[in-house]
Structure 1
Amino acid sequence: MQRNRKTNDCKDLVTNHGGCPQGQGHDIDTDDNGNHETTVELEHTTSNEFNDYTGMEIYRQLRPLLICMRIFGLYFKRTTFQGRSRKPRMELVVMYCFVVNFLMVMNVLRSFTVYRIADDFDNVMVQRLLFTIWSTECTFKGLLLMWNCFRQNGLPHFFIEWDKTCGNIKLNKMCRFMMKKFLFLTFIFIIFNSVVFSLILLYVPLLKDIYLEVVWKNAVTYDNHAIFKTILGILAVLNSSSSMFPVSLFVVLSFAVGEQLRKFSDDLASAIADGDFNGRIDDFRLRHQNLITLVDILDRIFAPMIAAVFIANIPMFCLVLYTMVTTIDIHISLVLINLFWLCFILLQMTIVSVTAAWVNVKAHSPLDHIYSIRFSATSNDVQLQMLLFLNRLTGTQIGLTAMKMFVIDKPTILTVAGMMVTYFVLLIQFKMPVSADCHCNMTGTVFLNNATLIVSQIS
């Protein structure tokens, strides 16, 4: 006779105590001989515990930056109920973030409508290309940040994993200083960029006509320019915030993880100096692996942004250099604008590259200490643990990548810098004029038999 599985332990509990363990349902059946059988249905206990990372210490430390990002529609909180349903719960500000990102997407689509096949490659075309590339980069950063706020293995995963690995430790002075510094730089850039655009549209007719053509095709011919100027001012604020705030969050989180890697390396050096390393090698290896997990989460969040910075800023650098070389005698304001953009592009690429390379250096820093240890008299277990540790440190590059294509390290910075210098030299060579004018003054007399030809001047 086929029945559900019998559970004698639960049967004893029913007989002696009159119940089953909490969370398990049971049915008591009677067979033909009058014996009791207990059918147990095991149910997974569903917990309504709220997976809230907003009470963690790192979240409280980052609150000034996150509040500023929320004001510009670039961040919202997303928490989850644990259990079978795992229903997400988000702030109402998510609708505001959606509207901001929708406007930026529409701006990118609008920027492609100002091109015509018959257009010349002049100053207006260069500014259109610059505005399209920059708007696309900023929109991509905003959408990427919104997506990582929503998905559970994005920013929420980083905060939860940080709490498991590092606990409720406070960010050190360096991380807090970097957060304040980048908040200041971000607001300075937003204000300066918006004010400069406003002054250009009001007091520089030449640049006003160029930027109106960037907003809309043949916008100069319209009688009312106020609507185009308003659109350009709003877009300057939205693009500036979307350009700087994701980079600021990337730098602060990277410095936080890098400082933990630096502290790990210092603890490792202290343990080696005290002769206590061999007995704790397994703990050090697992602790390093947990920190590398934080690096991997950061890479999963910001790798597309790093790739977007390189892909967008290198052609923008070339276009700005080309404009500076070809329009240096047109108007001083155009030269200053191009110089400002050149400094911004170089600064952004330098910040992203140096930060990612610094994390790479700190992740591999234990190698310098491990290579100084003698393992000839250690046991096989210790040597096996050390072999695993060394394979993790030397097998593959650890760090932040550009879409998993390459790890950003010090040689990467030199490669990118050399490539940009090469482009600059090529642009200068293409711009150098080769004068074909020849002014010759010549006076002479030519005798042809009995005829005389006097040549007085040839130019």
Structure 2
Amino acid sequence: MTKTKISAVDDGVASITQLGKPNPEIGTTCYPTTEEDKRWNCLISALRPLLISMSVVGLFDVWKLRDINDKNPASKRTLFKLYHLGVVCILGFNFIRFFHAYNSFAFGSELLSTVYSHAWFFLCFVYAAMNYRIVQNPTKLSQFFTQWNQYWCLVKKAPKDVSQEDSWKHIRRFTTITTIITWVFVLINVSFICYLIFHGHSEPNLLEPITEEHDLFILVACLGQIVGLCCSCAWCFVTTFLIVIFLSLYYEFKNLVNRFEKMTQTLSTSQIRENIEAIREQHTALCDMLDTGDCVFKHYIGACIFFHIFITLLLLYNLCWHDTVRDDFGQLLTHVFWLIAVIGVASVVMVTCSLVNIKAHEPASFIYKMSMKDITPDFTLQVNVFLHRLNGPPIGLTAWSLFVVDNQVIVSVAGMLATYFVVLLQFQQSATNPATSLNSTLPLNGV
């Protein structure tokens, strides 16, 4: 079989397939150049800053993904496997240990503080466990990256202004920026956890069952900081990974839409007839890649949306009702930071999923604007098949395969949170003005 080298300099595309994988488009096997081999394949290289950071903190193994087609001895991956498994076990033990914090089940701010802390610990454990599963069984994840590279192969002859080389650079630049922001976010969150460990009078004891009076409190507090760092990394880096992947998918659909819009505006009907099939094939390839990505990330999306909304509700309650939180500036700042963080994380994840959904269906608007003069039966069939896909079942990312995350989901969640907040304010007003509420129920003139 002929060996073909495809470089980013010659074709505007880097390493379009995995090492030694047959390329269905050109019927040959693509072998990366020396420079590309050092960078692995283009997509892994674009995501490298984030994936290496996740590997360092025990949430990923980028080298296993890189070498998935190489027959390396399993012993080379044993160290990272044990490291990753150790992080999962630490987070799992931390979640089980925190059951000691439930000293009373009487409804109130203290119970809710314990519940949302426990929910956050569980979310971090779930993130780490799901990452361990997809790293140790990377079939779907590898298929997702392979389909992405194959899509880049389809558009390697795209105009220079929307070339895949620019796409690779865009993803790499965005990944680098978000990785730096994530590290800053982790350090800030660890600082707040440190404050709560030593000054958490309104919070449940984060080191249960060890208290401040224990002789080994300082040692346990240091170990608690390590656990807090693991939790913060699992929470922040996994969420960042989702956001980067989803925004990259949005960018790919956006490039496709731009090419299609430019084609419909500048080419004649006969020229559009010659090119629309290529656009349809590229859109189909993106949709297939999106379906594979949904199989990988749907559990992450569902857990992210559910737990962040749940924690948001409890944080809002404590900010409205927990007097100790409002009296202690440090704890007030911690709760405000957490509230902004959980709302921001859920919002960004839902918005990025919604953007993918919008861009995936957008080509339909340009098809409706095309001239239908001098059309042929073959062209009509192509257009109908394309429209059937665009106007058929929703294209996008789902939460546990229950629903596609689109604009309606965002509006529903925002309405629910707004209603809950208004109800809390009304309850607080009634509680702070009992005399007004009592007088309003007394009969007039003593009758």
Same structural fold, with TM-score higher than 0.5 when normalized by the shorter chain: yes
Q: Which amino acid aligns with 1:163?
A: N
The separation in 1 between residues aligned to 2:184 and 2:375, in whole angstroms, is: 58
| Alpha-carbon distance change, 377 to 132 in structure 1, aligned in 2, over 3 angstroms | same
**Contact 1:50/1:80, CA 8 A, preserved across alignment:** no
Where structure 1 has 5 or more consecutive residues not aligned to the other structure, the ranges are: 1-47, 441-459
**Is 1:55 aligned to residue 30 of structure 2?**
no
**Could you say which residue in structure 2 is the equivalent of 1:161?**
147
**Contact 1:127/1:214, CA 8 A, preserved across alignment:** no
| Alpha-carbon distance change, 266 to 439 in structure 1, aligned in 2, over 3 angstroms | closer
**Which TM-score applies when normalising by structure 2?**
0.79
**Could you say which residue in structure 2 is the equivalent of 1:313?**
308
Residue 227 of structure 1: CA displacement?
3.6
**Could you say which residue in structure 1 is the equivalent of 2:49?**
64
Residue 265 of structure 1: CA displacement?
1.4
1:191 to 187, 191, 195: 187
The separation in 1 between residues aligned to 2:394 and 2:374, in whole angstroms, is: 30
Counterparts of 1:274-313 in structure 2, within 5 Å, are: 274-275=267-268, 276-313=271-308
| Larger proportion of helix | 2
2:223 to 231, 245, 250: 231
**Could you say which residue in structure 2 is the equivalent of 1:373?**
370
The separation in 1 between residues aligned to 2:230 and 2:371, in whole angstroms, is: 57
**Could you say which residue in structure 1 is the equivalent of 2:405?**
408
Structure 1 residue matching 2:294: 3-state secondary structure: helix
**Contact 2:113/2:204, CA 8 A, preserved across alignment:** no
Residue 360 of structure 1: CA displacement?
1.0
Residue 439 of structure 1: CA displacement?
12
1:110 to 94, 97, 102: 97
The separation in 1 between residues aligned to 2:170 and 2:250, in whole angstroms, is: 11
**Could you say which residue in structure 2 is the equivalent of 1:215?**
207
| Alpha-carbon distance change, 389 to 90 in structure 1, aligned in 2, over 3 angstroms | farther
Where structure 2 has 5 or more consecutive residues not aligned to the other structure, the ranges are: 1-18, 23-30, 32-36, 157-163, 440-447
**Contact 1:80/1:88, CA 8 A, preserved across alignment:** no
| Alpha-carbon distance change, 218 to 149 in structure 1, aligned in 2, over 3 angstroms | closer
**Could you say which residue in structure 1 is the equivalent of 2:434?**
435
**Contact 1:175/1:256, CA 8 A, preserved across alignment:** yes
Structure 1 residue matching 2:233: 3-state secondary structure: helix
Residue 417 of structure 1: CA displacement?
0.7
Of the structure 1 ranges 170-179 and 338-347, higher mean CA displacement relative to structure 2 is found in 170-179
The separation in 2 between residues aligned to 1:155 and 1:422, in whole angstroms, is: 39
The separation in 2 between residues aligned to 1:154 and 1:438, in whole angstroms, is: 60
Deviations for 1:20-60, whole angstroms, at most 9, x for unmatched residues? Answer: xxxxxxxxxxxxxxxxxxxxxxxxxxxx9689997211111
**Contact 1:251/1:352, CA 8 A, preserved across alignment:** yes
Q: Which amino acid aligns with 1:115?
A: Y
Counterparts of 1:243-392 in structure 2, within 5 Å, are: 243-272=235-264, 273-275=266-268, 276-328=271-323, 329-375=326-372, 377-392=374-389
The separation in 2 between residues aligned to 1:409 and 1:62, in whole angstroms, is: 25
The separation in 2 between residues aligned to 1:172 and 1:355, in whole angstroms, is: 19
The separation in 2 between residues aligned to 1:260 and 1:81, in whole angstroms, is: 26
Q: Which amino acid aligns with 2:186?
A: I
Q: Which amino acid aligns with 2:42?
A: E
| Alpha-carbon distance change, 224 to 211 in structure 1, aligned in 2, over 3 angstroms | farther
1:74 to 53, 59, 64: 59
| Alpha-carbon distance change, 438 to 423 in structure 1, aligned in 2, over 3 angstroms | closer
Relative contact order: is structure 1 or structure 2 higher (C-alpha 8 Å, sep ≥ 6)? 2
Q: Which amino acid aligns with 2:92?
A: V
Structure 2 residue matching 1:73: 3-state secondary structure: coil
Deviations for 1:88-147, whole angstroms, at most 9, x for unmatched residues? Answer: 98463122111111111111122224325x443344322211111001111111221222
Counterparts of 1:438-449 in structure 2, within 5 Å, are: none
Structure 1 residue matching 2:370: 3-state secondary structure: coil
The separation in 1 between residues aligned to 2:206 and 2:238, in whole angstroms, is: 26
Identity, % of aligned positions? 24
**Contact 1:149/1:156, CA 8 A, preserved across alignment:** no
The separation in 1 between residues aligned to 2:434 and 2:100, in whole angstroms, is: 39
Deviations for 1:388-434, whole angstroms, at most 9, x for unmatched residues? Answer: 11010011111111111111112221111111111111112222224
**Contact 1:124/1:213, CA 8 A, preserved across alignment:** no
**Could you say which residue in structure 2 is the equivalent of 1:100?**
87
Residue 220 of structure 1: CA displacement?
4.5
Structure 2 residue matching 1:277: 3-state secondary structure: helix
Aligned length: 386
Residue 305 of structure 1: CA displacement?
1.0
Q: Which amino acid aligns with 2:243?
A: V
Counterparts of 1:413-428 in structure 2, within 5 Å, are: 413-428=410-425
**Could you say which residue in structure 2 is the equivalent of 1:178?**
174
**Contact 1:327/1:335, CA 8 A, preserved across alignment:** no
2:395 to 372, 393, 398: 398
Deviations for 1:366-403, whole angstroms, at most 9, x for unmatched residues? Answer: 11111112335322221111111101001111111111
Q: Which amino acid aligns with 2:129?
A: L
The separation in 2 between residues aligned to 1:227 and 1:348, in whole angstroms, is: 32
**Contact 1:268/1:277, CA 8 A, preserved across alignment:** no
The separation in 1 between residues aligned to 2:375 and 2:436, in whole angstroms, is: 83
Structure 2 residue matching 1:154: 3-state secondary structure: helix
Residue 212 of structure 1: CA displacement?
6.2
RMSD between aligned alpha carbons?
2.9
**Contact 1:254/1:298, CA 8 A, preserved across alignment:** no
**Could you say which residue in structure 2 is the equivalent of 1:124?**
110
**Is 1:150 aligned to residue 136 of structure 2?**
yes
Of the structure 1 ranges 277-286 and 328-337, higher mean CA displacement relative to structure 2 is found in 328-337
Structure 1 residue matching 2:369: 3-state secondary structure: coil
